[in-house]
Chain A
């Protein structure tokens, strides 16, 4: 569901959605000008509120994580280079284990390497495919927001591709941090509404600055 509030919503009880009133303004209306438009605007009044996803909020694969969320919820944040991979069955699922050589780290216990598990891969003559799972290139560098399970000790990226920033260079040679948006459903964790995942692209230095200040705050 779309969250379209122009006013801040009141604090929400967990599981209960807040509510906001939206008033249509006559300014900024586009389309047919004139009296008809003003009539329409003045005669139609919407009360739009946050709502739990209903009806077609489905295939809810991902929960939207803001940068602040990712900083807070990750157990480690690293700038690393993929140095290798191997795939193996873990129970009934093939996971590909990517070896990451840590070049810089802003959160979590210092480590020189980290193994990041991604569902899917090829093992023992079988290929297991999960659309949307991050795909890494050996030799490439990434900024990774990682989460290690306290139960199993396995480490994953946050929210599939949400926690993966590739590091291309722009036309001036500056290293950028880019995260492509995902079309898997992203739900706002507070409201449960469908949100649009926006692409993120910024200079790597800016991302590092945001991470550092976020880690310090947390």
Chain B
């Protein structure tokens, strides 16, 4: 296959950094052919994504064949959950959303993602990858190759693995494939982007440190990389750089973060959480399935020949491993490896299992409280056995586990090892890594063992309650247990007590039979012990969902409110999704105003394709679709356009509330010399400033909290109405008292605050306290003893802050109160 050259833009392309950058597990291009190598990555261009969000749409043609009790709504729920997993990474600025159904072939100009179901040749069940331009773009972090579209291909037949869709394996498959679609390649750290041969993630922990580092590297934000450390060095063999060596930083009883080396052997591992790590280097296995980096001519750069795996500082002897300490914001450099070549990779693709009765589970879960003196882990893979026996000279031990373990080879023709670990040698919690040591090589299986303190959950009874909830009775349940109906978590109505949890089933499709699974926070689930005969829940027959939309068309470049009224579809907050079948149409926010009604703000991209798209609405497993139900029309240059979001004019405030000043940014907001008018919830808003592109206005008093409709007329034409979220005003500090009678550094201060709802007592993370602009890390919140709705916030003044007029303020959900000013003498006193 002829590969086109990567074409550079006419403008000079800057090298992203001088020092070797991480040649991470991404899709990589090199502009230069000599050291220092500066990799360029394929990734989404955030500047072209609405609200920096890539939205995944699912083909409405769906699978054609389902196993018993599986359904398309269940498939959709798993895909939606997978988008939520990647969206939850706070150190990544890329947002990931579920966009609902899409008719195959819908024209769209905004980059996005797609999930399609296809007939596949025998042996192929799923695959995914990005499509990118051939031209580089300059971004704030350097040049990159923009991804224009990503597609996840799933088998049209769900009776073959990884189905059924309600299994955890389907969910983790979709999460993995979605990672490819976002720009990630395989790793070898047992993270989600590792292949399932070694992957140790679960629904309870769907992403590992390596995954978080990888996606954050592509789309950094927030505390990345400042809150993390970096390890750099080189891998050489005979003085020559080793390309595509996998360097892994492994935390005892924890996760691993890794990187692949550049063509000159240099490497950099970013996104390493602070801690003490063992660092080792291993060759890519023959089965790596890495898309090799491309050189400036577009030719693939293959890996260097294999070598002997080595731990820093260059040993295979566990007694000589030297740990590397990583601190936040710091780089540990000079972690170099001089490796020995070998003919082939001796050991690879090793999997660990444990057994629960007749069910094997990967990775191994060992219950240290299981009252057994010895735990057994089974492992198999290439190179650790030879015929029916263990490989000659093989030693197996848990990293940090106190020496070699006993093991037995058994089984034929697929021979495995049964590894015996004294229970007393296991840590009380966390993960344990296994080492497989041959006389001339070593293999590391990160997170081979998950240490737990309890048996897996098991459901023993299911009872329907008169209010529609279901009481689940079982063993191994706890307050951290979640009950899933197929792929959706149910809302808890009565917390765990005495072996039961009561939950409200998610809205179900007509006659749907849903499989129940209990997931515990330690990663175990009830399918460990109930797979052969799980509990199911049958939803009643119901009519097909019907919906009426308030808008069936919008022009390009416009934001507008859309209302949907339904029957046979019950909207619930947190379980409701609305989609318009195209990445050119973004649903900014949804408000469920009644079980059968919702409002949403929708934005059509300025360069949206002029076409008709599907509209779909989801609540739980209930799905409504209207194919070609929405039309994107050509832009109207005269139309006043309200841009979203509408911010509070004060940078110190996050929300909008009566009395606040807000700003609309848009176009045609004023017609000539006319005065624009704004109403919110039917009440007139005072306009303080108006121009064609900006209007400042005051939220009128008396507008209740919740969604309110904003209408704007520019004096000649009305804009499409939009929904504004009105919140309560920021909290107000009404008084401050001191433990010693006066402010003193290090002394106690108590604030009496109004405007805080009592729920913050159990959810104090919504509140922050600052003194002199410095965060006070520890404080208590309690109700005022006078029976009022006021709350008391008590904390210790910072010992290091003194002076006059020191401001003390609080925030609620990011909204800042007016400060109180105190004088803090250096030696205390009034």
Binding site for B on A (CB under 8 A): 1-6, 15-16, 19, 22, 24-25, 28-32, 37, 40-41, 43-44, 46-65, 69-70, 73-74, 85, 87, 91-94, 96, 98, 119-122, 125-133, 135-136, 138, 147, 149, 151-152, 156-160, 162-163, 180-185, 187, 189, 192-199
Q: Is the CB of A22 within 8 A of B410?
A: yes
Q: Is the CB of A199 within 8 A of B394?
A: no
Q: Is the CB of B361 within 8 A of A1?
A: yes
The one of B123, B153, B176, B410 that contacts A58, using a Cβ cutoff of 8 Å: B176
* Given contacts A58-B172, A126-B133, A160-B127, A25 and B196 within 8 Å (CB-CB): no
The one of B67, B104, B185, B357 that contacts A92, using a Cβ cutoff of 8 Å: B104
6 example contacts (A-B, Cβ-Cβ < 8 A) are as follows: A59-B172, A126-B134, A127-B134, A129-B132, A130-B128, A149-B121
Chain B residues within 8 Å of A127, by CB: 4, 131-134
New A-B pairs, 8, CB < 8 Å, besides A121-B1, A196-B349:
A28-B409, A29-B406, A30-B407, A98-B1, A129-B130, A131-B289, A158-B122, A183-B197
Q: Is the CB of A30 within 8 A of B408?
A: yes
- Per the bound structure, the CA–CA distance linking A151 and B203 in Å amounts to 36
Q: Is the CB of A51 within 8 A of B358?
A: yes
Chain A residues within 8 Å of B394, by CB: 30
| Chain A min CB distance to B190 (Å) | 8
| Interface membership of B390, Cβ < 8 A | yes
Q: Is the CB of B122 within 8 A of A58?
A: no
Q: Is the CB of B169 within 8 A of A58?
A: yes
Chain A residues within 8 Å of B424, by CB: none
* Given contacts A56-B172, A126-B133, A2 and B380 within 8 Å (CB-CB): yes
Q: Is the CB of B129 within 8 A of A130?
A: yes
The one of A87, A128, A135, A185 that contacts B196, using a Cβ cutoff of 8 Å: A185
Chain B residues within 8 Å of A193, by CB: 360
Q: Which residue of A is nearest B373, CB measured?
A: A43
Q: Is the CB of A194 within 8 A of B362?
A: yes
Q: At the interface, is chain A mostly helix, strand, loop or mixed?
A: loop
Chain A residues within 8 Å of B67, by CB: 15
Q: Which residue of B is nearest A151, CB measured?
A: B119
- Per the bound structure, the CA–CA distance linking A128 and B736 in Å amounts to 62
The one of A51, A87, A132, A189 that contacts B531, using a Cβ cutoff of 8 Å: A51
Chain A residues within 8 Å of B128, by CB: 130
Chain A residues within 8 Å of B527, by CB: 54-55
- For A6, A64, A149, the residue with the greatest tally of chain B CB atoms inside 10 Å of its CB is A6
| Interface membership of B351, Cβ < 8 A | yes
- For A57, A63, A96, the residue with the greatest tally of chain B CB atoms inside 10 Å of its CB is A57
Q: Is the CB of A131 within 8 A of B121?
A: no
- For A61, A163, A189, the residue with the greatest tally of chain B CB atoms inside 10 Å of its CB is A61
Q: Is the CB of A196 within 8 A of B104?
A: no
Chain A residues within 8 Å of B170, by CB: 58
The proximity string for B residues 618-655 relative to A, scoring 1 for CB distances below 8 Å and 0 otherwise, is 00000000000000000000000000000000000000
Q: Is the CB of A55 within 8 A of B361?
A: yes
Q: Which residue of B is nearest A187, CB measured?
A: B161
The one of A54, A126, A132, A189 that contacts B127, using a Cβ cutoff of 8 Å: A132
Q: Is the CB of B408 within 8 A of A61?
A: no
Q: Is the CB of A4 within 8 A of B160?
A: no
| Chain B min CB distance to A141 (Å) | 16
The one of A30, A44, A131, A189 that contacts B129, using a Cβ cutoff of 8 Å: A131
- Per the bound structure, the CA–CA distance linking A46 and B353 in Å amounts to 13
Chain A residues within 8 Å of B105, by CB: 91-92
Closest 9 CB pairs of A and B: A159-B123, A58-B172, A183-B287, A60-B162, A185-B196, A31-B406, A59-B176, A49-B358, A128-B131
Chain A residues within 8 Å of B151, by CB: 92-93, 128
- Per the bound structure, the CA–CA distance linking A119 and B197 in Å amounts to 24
| Interface membership of B414, Cβ < 8 A | yes
- Per the bound structure, the CA–CA distance linking A159 and B167 in Å amounts to 23
The one of A31, A58, A159 that contacts B407, using a Cβ cutoff of 8 Å: A31
The one of B126, B186, B404, B525 that contacts A55, using a Cβ cutoff of 8 Å: B525
The proximity string for B residues 143-170 relative to A, scoring 1 for CB distances below 8 Å and 0 otherwise, is 0000011010100000111100001111
